[in-house]
């Protein structure tokens, strides 16, 4: 059940993405029926998250992967080179296609996977929803390809205005690179008269950015993120 305080947000999201909302509702109803009819055996997953790569081009201080206490720092070079294969993704997509399972791509930085766009095309070709969670630094580079891929949604990290964002990311010019990329994406979407991909933000509130939340909202609105 949705908590009462989250109902307005859920309604707003459903109005923005009616097909997605209906699909999720249908899936949850079927899952509930399946659970009760088959002695607690679960239905197919509503969403599958694919971890594409350990690699990341940023070193955000609070990140549990590559930050100050990041676990990936202790991994061997051979482990860090591991990538999910296109064949494995294809097999999974074909298996779950009939259940209309949603796919979310993440990492590391998923756009560092050499075949991430092919993975998006594969998922979309099979009629399934595909989202990506990214730091946003490669959106400008791939803006045209992203729109052509029919990717449904981009969720990217925005943690403050320029100085704060770059301080958290610990790589110079990250803010400008990211924001300019999303402005390019927004312009291309307007040019092609398409709403896809939808853009949403993730913000990790911490001691460096908690005073800048209103600015973060304004920046997000300026690049076309859904608020």
In a domain, 164, yes or no: yes
Residue 35 sits in which domain range? 1-43
Give the contacts of 44 (CB within 8 A, at least 6 positions apart).
96, 99, 101
Whether residue 113 is found in the same domain as residue 156:
yes
Phi then psi for residue 183, to 5 deg, are: -65, -40
Q: How confident is the model at residue 69 (pLDDT cuts 50, 70, 90)?
A: confident
Helix H or strand E segment including 27? helix 18-37
In a domain, 171, yes or no: yes
Task: Record the pTM.
Answer: 0.84
Contact 200, 217 (CB under 8 A): no
Contact 10, 17 (CB under 8 A): no
Q: What pLDDT, on the 0 to 100 scale, is given for residue 4? A: 62
Tokens at 34, concatenated: 């399946």
Whether residue 70 is found in the same domain as residue 172:
yes
Tokens at 143, concatenated: 């803006």
In a domain, 227, yes or no: no
Closest CA to 58 of 129, 156, 149, 181: 156
Distances (CA, A) of 154 to 39, 199, 208: 37, 5, 25
Residues 89, 80: Cα–Cα separation, whole Å: 19
Q: What pLDDT, on the 0 to 100 scale, is given for residue 169? A: 96
CATH code for the domain of 188? 3.20.20.70
Contact 194, 147 (CB under 8 A): yes
Whether residue 5 is found in the same domain as residue 60:
no
Is residue 148's pLDDT more than 70?
yes
Whether residue 167 is found in the same domain as residue 206:
yes
Percentage of the chain beyond pLDDT 70 is 81
Whether residue 32 is found in the same domain as residue 51:
no
Whether residue 56 is found in the same domain as residue 97:
yes
14-37, pLDDT tens digit by residue? Answer: 566 666 665 666 666 665 665 666
Q: What pLDDT, on the 0 to 100 scale, is given for residue 36? A: 66
Q: What pLDDT, on the 0 to 100 scale, is given for residue 226? A: 82
Number of domains in the chain: 2
Whether residue 70 is found in the same domain as residue 28:
no
In a domain, 13, yes or no: yes
Whether residue 55 is found in the same domain as residue 66:
yes
Tokens 């973060």 -> residue? 216
The stretch 60-71 carries a mean pLDDT of 90
Whether residue 72 is found in the same domain as residue 115:
yes
Phi then psi for residue 159, to 5 deg, are: -120, 15
Whether residue 201 is found in the same domain as residue 117:
yes
Whether residue 147 is found in the same domain as residue 157:
yes
């Amino acid at each position: 059940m949705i908590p009462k305080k989250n109902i307005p947000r859920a309604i707003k999201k459903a109005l923005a993405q009616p097909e997605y909302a209906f699909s999720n509702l249908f899936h949850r109803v079927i899952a509930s029926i399946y659970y009760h009819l088959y002695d607690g055996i679960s239905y197919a997953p509503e969403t599958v998250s694919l971890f594409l790569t350990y690699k990341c081009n940023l070193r955000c201080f609070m990140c549990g992967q590559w930050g100050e206490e990041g676990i990936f720092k202790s991994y061997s070079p051979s482990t860090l080179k591991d990538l999910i294969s296109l064949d494995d993704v294809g097999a999974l997509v074909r298996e779950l296609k009939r259940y209309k399972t949603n796919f979310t791509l993440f990492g590391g930085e998923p756009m560092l996977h050499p075949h991430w766009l092919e993975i998006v095309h594969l998922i979309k070709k099979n009629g399934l929803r595909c989202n990506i969670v990214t730091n946003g630094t490669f959106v400008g580079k791939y803006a045209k390809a992203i729109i052509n891929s029919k990717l449904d949604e981009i969720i990217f990290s925005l943690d403050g205005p320029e100085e704060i964002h770059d301080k958290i990311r610990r790589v110079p010019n990250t803010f400008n690179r990211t924001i300019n990329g999303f402005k390019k994406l927004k312009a291309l979407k307007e040019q092609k008269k398409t709403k896809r991909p939808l853009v949403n933000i993730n913000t990790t509130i911490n001691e460096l950015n908690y005073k800048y939340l209103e600015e973060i909202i304004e920046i997000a609105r300026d690049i076309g993120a859904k608020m």
